[in-house]
Structure 1
Amino acid sequence: MSIRNQIKSRLPKGFLWRLSALNFLVVASAIVVSGLAIYNTACFLMDAMGGLEEQRQEQFNATLFNYLWIFIITAIVTGSLLHFYMTKKLIKPIRSLIESTKQLKKGNYPDPVEVTSQDEVGELAVQFNALIQQLHMNDQNRQKLVSDLSHEFRTPLTNLNGYLQSLERGDIEGTQKLYKSLYQESRRLTGMMEQLEQLKEWDFANSQTYTKNREVDITTLVGQCAAMFNLQLDEKNIALSVNVPSCTLLIHEEGTQQIISNLLENAIHYYNGEGAITVHGERQKSVYQIAVCGPSGFIPEQEQEKIFERFYRLDTSRSSDIGGSGLGLAIAKEIVDRHGGEIGVTSEKNKNTFWFTLPFA
C-alpha cells in the first residue's frame, strides 16, 4: 500500500467530518449569539447604572468584548475537538462493522467486532457477530452435507454403473437376482433422497414462526404407529409392549408419528437379544416423555450424541446394509427441536432406550 493510501485510510471518513462540521456550526452559532447577548446586556446595565465616565464606559465595553471573543473562540475550539474525539470513538464500532462487511463480501469470515458499549451501536455489533457466527456454522454444515452426500452416493452409484456397463458389454448375464439387487440399490438411493427432502422441510420449518400444531391424544397416536409394525413384528417373532397413558398434546401430528415410527423401526432393525420392545409414556413436570426400548448392542457414551447427526452411523464401514442411511435420527431430532423438546438415548449392556420429550404448551 502506498504512503498516500495509508494516510488516506487513517483520515476520518466523510460522515465524521460532516457530523463535526455540523456540530461546529451549531455550537459556534449558539455561543456567538449567547456571547453577544451577554455583552449587550452587560453594557446596557453598566450604562443604566451611570457610574462610569464615557471614556471609561467605552474602555469597559471594549475589554468585555475582547474577553467575550476569547471565551467564544476557546469554547468553540474546545467543544469541537471534544465532540470530534467523542464522535470518532462512538462510530469506531461502525467502522469495524463496515470493514467486516467488506471481508464478508469477499467470502472471508471476519473476526468478531469488539463491543465497547451497551447502547444501540453495541447491540448492533453483538447481533452482527451472532450473524457472522451463524453464517459460518451454516457454511460448515453445508460443506459437511456436500461431503457426506458425495460419500453416501459414490458407492451405490459406482456399483450401479459397474453392473450396467458389464451388462451392456455382455460380460455378465442378467438374472432375476441381479435385477432385484440393482432395483433395491436404486430404491435405497430414492429413499435417501426422500429423507433429504424431509430433512430440508424440517430445517425450513424450524426457521419459521408459524406452526401447524393441533391437539392430539398421544395414546391414540402411538397406538396407530405401533399397529403399522404388527406384520413385521410377527414375521420376526418380536413382542411389542405399549404403555402410554392418555394425554392431549399440542403437536405436529405427522411429525410426531415420524419420530415414533423411526424409533420403532430402529428398535426392530437392531433387535439383538431376548425380550419385548417397549414403548413407554410418562407425564413429567412440564413435558411428556416417550421412550422406545429394545434389546440391542451397547452404544458407547462418546457415540450417543453423534448418532443424531446427519449421515452418522456407528459402524466404521458406514455400510448402508447395516446402518441405514444415517438420516432417520437426524430428522427425528429436527422435529423434536421444532416442538421445543429434547431427544436422547440411554444405553445399557444389552438394551438401548431412545427417548424424546414434548412440552405441554
Structure 2
Amino acid sequence: MLQPRYLSVVLALVIAIVTTAFLSFIPSSDLVTMTIGFISCFIFGSVLIYFALDYLVFQEVNSLYDRIKQIKKKDFSVTPRKQLVEKENPIELLRKELNTYVATKEGEVQDLKKAAKYRQEFLADVSHELKTPIFAAQGFVHTLLDNPDEDLEIRTKFLEKAAKSLDGLDSLVQDLLTVSQIETGAIKIEKKKINLRPLIEEIFEQVEAKAKKREVSLKLIAPKGEIQVKADTQRISQVILNLVVNAIKYGKEKGLVQIIINEKKKAYTISVVDNGPGIPEEHLHRIFERFYRVDKSRAKNSGGTGLGLSIVKHIVQAHNSKISVQSEENKGTRFEFKLEKA
C-alpha cells in the first residue's frame, strides 16, 4: 500500500486534472488560467490531503497498531503517541496483526475444544472403569447380607470375589494417581547411575510365575558387563516390568519374551519384544491412551487397569526420551525407548 505522501500526490494530481478539464469547458479560460488552476489544485490538494491522511488516519491507525503490540506483550501501560516516521503502512500492519491474532485465537479455540472432548472421554472412561469393580463387589456383599445363613464355603468364595474386585479398584485408583502426579510434576524423576542388568534380572524373577503359567520363555540380550544408565530406578523398573508383563499376558502361550539392549554412542536402546499375535495397525497410534484397549473383552479378563502403557509413556517422557511401538500381526510386537548413558 502507498505511504500518505505518495497517496496525497496521486489524489491531488487526479483532482488537478479533473479541475483543469472542467476549466477547459469555460469559454473565457485560456492556457494561463488552466495552468495556474492545475498547479494551485495540485499543490494545495497535495498538502491538505497529506495532512488529512497523516494526522487523521495513518497516525491514529499506527497508534492503534502499537497498542495491539503492547497488549500482545501484556504491557497495558499507556504510552505517548509517536509520530509516524518512515514506517511500513500501519493499515497494512494492522491487517496483518489482526489476521495473526484471529488465527491464534482460532487455534486456541480448537485446542480448548479438543481438551473439552478429551475430558469428556476421560470422565466417561473413568466412570465405566470404576463402575465395574464397584458393582461386582457390591453384588457379592449384598448377596451375603441377604443370605446370612449361607454355607461357609459359599460365603468365603463370595468374599474372595468381592476382595478381588476391591483389589482391582485399588490398583485402578493408584494408577490414576500415578498418571496424574506424573503429569502435574508432583512425582519428581530422580536420575542416578544404575546398572540395568541386575534390575532386569530381578524383574524376570518377579514375573517368573506368570511366565511359567503360560509357558513363556524370558531372555535378556545385552552387551557384556555393566549397563550403566542415568535413570530413576523405581520408575524405570516400573516401565520395564509393565512392558514385560504385557508381553507375557498378551503374547502367545509357549512364546518368547526378550529384552534386547543395544549400545549407542550416548545412550542405550532398550527393546521389549514378543512373538505373539501382534497389534493391528489401526490401534498402534492409540495404545498409549488412557483406558484404550485393543481387545476390550480379553483385556478385562486379564485384569489390567488400562493405564499401564499411559504410565509407561509418561515415565519415559520424564526421562527426556520417547517410547515407540512396532508390531506385525502374527509375528509379534516391539516396544523401544532410549536411556542416556551414565
TM range (shorter): 0.5 to 0.7
Equivalent of 2:194 in 216, 219, 227 = 216
Structure 1 position 85 matched with structure 2 position 61: yes
* Alpha-carbon distance in structure 2 between the residues aligned to 1:127 and 1:219: 49
Superposed CA RMSD in Å reads: 3.9
Structure 1 position 167 matched with structure 2 position 144: yes
Q: Any conservation in 1 of the 2:189–2:318 contact (CA below 8 Å)?
A: no
Secondary structure, counterpart of 2:292 in structure 1: coil
5+ unaligned residues in a row in structure 1: which ranges?
1-70, 99-113
Letter in 1 for 2:124: S
Q: What are the Cα deviations for residues 141-161 of structure 1, in whole angstroms up to 9, with x where unaligned?
A: 322211101111222222222
Equivalent of 2:120 in 143, 146, 166 = 143
Q: What are the Cα deviations for residues 235-278 of structure 1, in whole angstroms up to 9, with x where unaligned?
A: 54432111222432222221111110001111222232434321
Query: 2:247 corresponds to which residue?
Result: 267
Q: CA deviation at 1:314?
A: 1.4
Q: What are the Cα deviations for residues 276-327 of structure 1, in whole angstroms up to 9, with x where unaligned?
A: 3211111235542211222322311111222111101112447522362211
Q: Any conservation in 2 of the 1:249–1:360 contact (CA below 8 Å)?
A: yes
Letter in 2 for 1:344: S
The 5 A counterparts of 1:1-361 are: 78-91=54-67, 116-117=96-97, 134-170=111-147, 173=150, 174-205=154-185, 211-245=189-223, 246-284=226-264, 287-317=267-297, 320-322=300-302, 324-360=304-340
Q: CA deviation at 1:94?
A: 7.7
- 266-275 or 140-149, larger mean C-alpha shift: 266-275
* Alpha-carbon distance in structure 2 between the residues aligned to 1:233 and 1:294: 12
Q: Any conservation in 1 of the 2:255–2:276 contact (CA below 8 Å)?
A: no
Q: CA deviation at 1:86?
A: 1.8
* Alpha-carbon distance in structure 2 between the residues aligned to 1:138 and 1:282: 38
* Alpha-carbon distance in structure 1 between the residues aligned to 2:301 and 2:293: 11
Secondary structure, counterpart of 1:269 in structure 2: helix
Q: Any conservation in 2 of the 1:93–1:116 contact (CA below 8 Å)?
A: no
Would you say how many aligned residue pairs link Structure 1 and Structure 2? 274
Q: Any conservation in 1 of the 2:144–2:155 contact (CA below 8 Å)?
A: no
Q: CA deviation at 1:137?
A: 4.0
Letter in 1 for 2:122: L
Q: CA deviation at 1:202?
A: 1.4
TM-score in terms of structure 1 length: 0.63
- 137-146 or 294-303, larger mean C-alpha shift: 137-146
* Alpha-carbon distance in structure 1 between the residues aligned to 2:53 and 2:324: 67
Q: What are the Cα deviations for residues 92-141 of structure 1, in whole angstroms up to 9, with x where unaligned?
A: 5888999xxxxxxxxxxxxxxx9934xxx999888777665555444333
Q: CA deviation at 1:336?
A: 1.2
Q: Any conservation in 1 of the 2:183–2:314 contact (CA below 8 Å)?
A: yes
Q: Any conservation in 2 of the 1:305–1:344 contact (CA below 8 Å)?
A: no
Aligned residues: percent identity? 23
Q: Any conservation in 2 of the 1:271–1:294 contact (CA below 8 Å)?
A: yes
Query: 1:27 corresponds to which residue?
Result: none
* Alpha-carbon distance in structure 1 between the residues aligned to 2:194 and 2:261: 14
TM-score in terms of structure 2 length: 0.66
* Alpha-carbon distance in structure 1 between the residues aligned to 2:103 and 2:198: 46
Q: What are the Cα deviations for residues 40-61 of structure 1, in whole angstroms up to 9, with x where unaligned?
A: xxxxxxxxxxxxxxxxxxxxxx
Q: CA deviation at 1:200?
A: 1.0
Q: CA deviation at 1:187?
A: 0.6
* Alpha-carbon distance in structure 2 between the residues aligned to 1:313 and 1:172: 41
5+ unaligned residues in a row in structure 2: which ranges?
1-46, 75-93
Secondary structure, counterpart of 1:289 in structure 2: strand
Q: CA deviation at 1:230?
A: 2.9
* Alpha-carbon distance in structure 1 between the residues aligned to 2:303 and 2:157: 23
Could you say if the C-alpha distance between residues 125 and 334 of structure 1 is closer, same or farther in structure 2, counting changes exceeding 3 Å?
farther
Letter in 2 for 1:165: H
